[in-house]
Structure 1
């Protein structure tokens, strides 16, 4: 029984290959007798797929500007291109103050984007418009809030719709407060 070509893998090989089903799409290092998988440029990490750190006697791999994360500057952002500005550059080699941040998505607005691509001035209208579009695309059942007439009709027949229409005191409904302490909700005369 043949086992997979890669180090530490004891799975059976697939017919006509040197690899198991798990490693079937993994490349084999181009260095002879090496049983590691390819990381980059046909080589495994051990044989040079990753560049070593430029710091003397460091065995780490380069990440930021030729140095590993231990020896390199993790925040190697350039400074703003404006003369005399020491802030970090974001977009277009400039800081946010000098026009380097993202601009508002609203047509004709040059303000800095704060939320979802919109400035604080256009954010509320954009959210409202986006929420309306998302609501239009979803089947939603909207339940209307009960009116005072509906509440009175539920209280007793004397406050039903017909009584309210004919009563001279139709505009003066009894003081009612809804109690949310217990479920189901109930009405208490105040």
Structure 2
């Protein structure tokens, strides 16, 4: 092949490549070589045990670690006997769903810009000694930073039409006599919404 490398003619180079490798193109790798490299990789990286998989699935994940879920966000957590709301990944935060705060050493759930509320920066409530995020007029929800239901003596936040869920705001479950908020398919959690 050394004779081929000294040649400046391109046709000689292509002829040399075919001469050295038979009829294979210069980019092809024999199938025997591929099988050996796959076996070597499997031997050096054994598959994780069932216990390792379980432990990994319970760790809170960062946004870059979470793949799109087939479970809708807002449905029930897919862990057995858990009725909490599912986040990204199909589980509640306690079972490994959602995003973990990106601040080093923090294990709280990310809420704003990939960080938990204390690490997010953002505008804070203007009331003294309050560290909650401001929602409306520089105040958090607890200090009046949300529109309140127009029903007499109700202090709940407005969902729609100037009213809270209990007084006619928002969408209600389609089951007769149920006043819970719709999650999906016109149903609340209790009646199968979000599954």
TM value normalised by structure 1: 0.27
TM-score by length of 2: 0.26
Higher relative contact order (CA 8 A, sep 6+): 2
Structure (1/2) with the larger helix percentage: 2
Higher strand share: 1
